[in-house]
């Protein structure tokens, strides 16, 4: 294992390739080649739970049909670490922006985790998780306590008004 935690070039190239393929080129064929046969993932869509490579490709096809234009992206924060000589994990928070149906659309604070693994001589993407923070949570909350407190107050007021 690389003791300095520097990311080997093979993983840096795979990560750069992913961002180019997915966000800039929006290229189905190249994404298919980057994904491991054992790929699994979660996306931001309600039905985007992926347990097979074919499921992933079907969702990416829908993604491309819905939003075919390149996506601009910028990192808010990112980290990339090797786990061993064959596996590396990327974690980042980013903002994306594109045009869909003639309207500008963005994801703010999109959270992305990618796991790359060397399979033979190639590095493949084996896992992906994308999420967005909920709007109910305030900064510093693990649960939406302020939102729940507001609901409780409204319920109490409703009870007090009736009596």
- Mean pLDDT (the chain) is 90
Q: What is the pLDDT of residues 83-115, one digit of tens each?
A: 999 999 999 999 999 999 999 999 999 999 999
Based on the domain organization, do 53 and 34 belong to the same domain? yes
Residue 40, pLDDT > 60, answer: yes
Domain count across the chain: 2
What confidence category does residue 5 fall into, taking pLDDT thresholds of 50, 70 and 90? low
Name the E strands within 49-134.
49-50, 72-82, 87-100, 103-119, 122-131
> How many Å apart are CA 160 and CA 153, to the nearest integer?
10
Would you say residue 117 lies in a domain?
yes
Which tokens is 135 given?
């709007």
Range of the structural domain that residue 119 is part of: 9-132
Q: What is the pLDDT of residues 53-86, one digit of tens each?
A: 999 999 999 999 999 999 999 999 999 999 999 9
At 69, phi and psi to the nearest 5? -75, 150
Of 30 and 147, the one with more pLDDT? 30
Q: How much is the pLDDT for 54?
A: 95
Q: How much is the pLDDT for 143?
A: 72
Q: How much is the pLDDT for 140?
A: 74
Based on the domain organization, do 24 and 71 belong to the same domain? yes
- Region of 56 on the Ramachandran plot (φ > 0 left; ψ -120 to 50 alpha; else beta): alpha
Q: Quick one: DSSP state of residue 162?
A: H
Would you say residue 4 lies in a domain?
no
Based on the domain organization, do 126 and 157 belong to the same domain? no
Residue 156's Cβ-count burial label (10 Å; 0-12, 13-18, 19+) is exposed
> How many Å apart are CA 28 and CA 138, to the nearest integer?
37
Q: How much is the pLDDT for 155?
A: 80
Which tokens is 103 given?
């309207």
Q: What is the pLDDT of residues 42-52, one digit of tens each?
A: 998 889 999 99
The CATH number covering residue 81 comes to 3.10.450.50
- What's this model's pTM, rounded to 2 decimal places? 0.84
Based on the domain organization, do 32 and 112 belong to the same domain? yes
Q: Quick one: DSSP state of residue 8?
A: P
């Amino acid at each position: 294992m690389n003791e300095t935690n520097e990311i080997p070039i093979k993983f840096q190239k795979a990560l750069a390739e992913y961002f180019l393929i997915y966000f800039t080129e929006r290229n189905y064929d190249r994404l298919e080649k980057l994904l491991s046969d054992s790929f699994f993932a979660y996306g931001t869509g309600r039905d985007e739970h992926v347990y097979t490579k074919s499921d992933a490709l079907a969702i990416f096809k829908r993604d491309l049909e819905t939003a075919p234009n390149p996506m601009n992206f910028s990192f808010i924060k990112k980290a990339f670490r090797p786990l061993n000589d064959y596996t590396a994990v990327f974690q980042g928070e980013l903002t994306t922006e594109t045009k869909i149906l003639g309207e500008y659309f963005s994801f703010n604070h999109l959270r992305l985790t990618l796991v790359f693994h060397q399979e033979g001589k190639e590095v493949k993407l084996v896992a992906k998780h994308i999420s967005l923070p909920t709007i109910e949570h305030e900064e510093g909350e693990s649960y939406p306590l302020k939102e729940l407190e507001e609901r409780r107050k409204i319920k109490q007021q409703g009870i007090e008004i009736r009596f």
